Amino acid sequence: MLIDLRAVFIAGLRDAARLRLALPLYIAGLLLGLVQSWPVLFSASNGQLGRINAERLLTSGDALVDLLTNQEATAATGIWLLLMPLLSLLFSACYNLFSGGILSVWDGRRSFWAGGWHFFLAFTALGLLLVVLALVALGVGSAVAVALGPMVGAGISFVLLQLLNLTGEYARAIGVTQNLRNPFALFGHAATYITRRPAALLLGLLGLALHAALVAIYLTILPLFGASPLVMLFNQLLVFAWLWLKLLRLAWARSLVAVGQASVQPSSAAEPAASAPALS
């Protein structure tokens, strides 16, 4: 099946250009980030930022007692470490909710909130499945590192994790476009889809290259700000750009899936009317 990659590319850009759809995810990330940074800001306000010691908290049972004492630096560290996994889960939940809404708006079948809630449980289960598979991928990378060296192992882990990320994007796109909510079916369909369509891998590589370019821009420009308060604005612009690129990858995935689905609709419409009851 021939795909007009240029049309898919432009359609994805057009969808992602609706920046207001990215705002809920950005605001959620901003608020959760502020909550996560609170212990550090608290210690800084007390002149104890330099004393925050995560290693001590992780390696010494006595450090946990400090959470209930007046050792503010260690207490701040403990709160920070306890908040990190919780806030990561909350952000993942926000992404599962908002990605369903965004894809639904692009697809044109549901409103933002209706689509978000419709696919929330399916996307959450899909996310858990991806986490489990990511742990397996890291285990494979570790085994390869032992056998062939750390660089080879790290490379294998990176490739496997990126393939899982791409599969997750196409699973979400397929779920909304075809109205599927079984997480295992979504993953299977997506894995089959990207292995049979080089365009999916090509767009995934392009998205990865754009993210890498954004990191390079950040590392190049950040030192130029010095101690300027503008660095906070620059950081937020980069965070928004990072999230927007993530949504652009989703937009390309949805556009590619939608184009492929549209190309097979005429043959479906030509089927005998007698087959209609089987589809109801």
Band (pLDDT 50/70/90 cuts) for residue 5 is confident
Residue 220 is predicted with a pLDDT of 92
Q: With respect to residue 55, please indicate whether it lies within any of the assigned structural domains.
A: yes
Distance CA 133, CA 163 (A): 11
Closest CA to 171 of 119, 216, 224, 210: 119
Domain-located, residue 60: yes
Q: Is residue 272 part of a domain?
A: no
pLDDT in tens, 37-58: 655 555 545 544 444 444 444 4
Q: Which residues contact 269 (CB under 8 A, 6 or more apart)?
A: none
d(CA 105, CA 254): 11
Q: Which domain holds residue 170?
A: 22-263
Q: What is the mean pLDDT of the chain?
A: 82
- Compute the average pLDDT of residues 245-249: 96
How do residues 130-152 score in pLDDT, each as one tens digit? 999 999 999 999 999 999 999 99
For the chain, percent of residues with pLDDT exceeding 70: 75
Q: What is the pLDDT of residues 203-232, one digit of tens each?
A: 999 999 999 999 999 999 988 887 777 888
CA distances from 177 to 104, 106, 110, 200 (A): 8, 10, 11, 16
The reply to whether 16 falls in a domain is: no
Amino acid identity for residue 255 in this structure = S
> Considering only 107-111, 181-185, 261-265, which range has the smallest mean pLDDT?
261-265
- Structural domain includes residue 10: no
Q: Residue range 10-39: average pLDDT?
A: 85
The pLDDT value recorded for residue 231 is 84
Q: Is residue 257 a part of any domain in this protein?
A: yes
Predicted pLDDT of residue 4: 80
Higher pLDDT, 69 or 118: 118
Asked if residue 125 belongs to a domain, the reply is yes
- What is residue 226's predicted lDDT score, i.e. its pLDDT? 78
Phi, psi angles (nearest 5°) of residue 70: -95, 15
pTM of the model: 0.81
Confidence of residue 269 (pLDDT cuts 50, 70, 90): very low
Lowest-pLDDT choice from 52-66, 166-180, 207-221, 259-273: 52-66
Nearest Cα residue to 199 out of 179, 219, 221, 173: 173
Give the pLDDT confidence of 54-106 residue by residue, as tens digits: 444 444 444 444 444 445 555 555 666 666 778 788 989 999 999 999 999 99
Answer whether residue 230 is part of any domain: yes
Domain count, the chain: 1
| Distance (Å, whole) CA 276 – CA 278 | 5
Q: What is the mean pLDDT of residues 168-195?
A: 96
- Residue 262 pLDDT more than 60? yes
The tokens 């009851």 sit on which residue?
A: 277
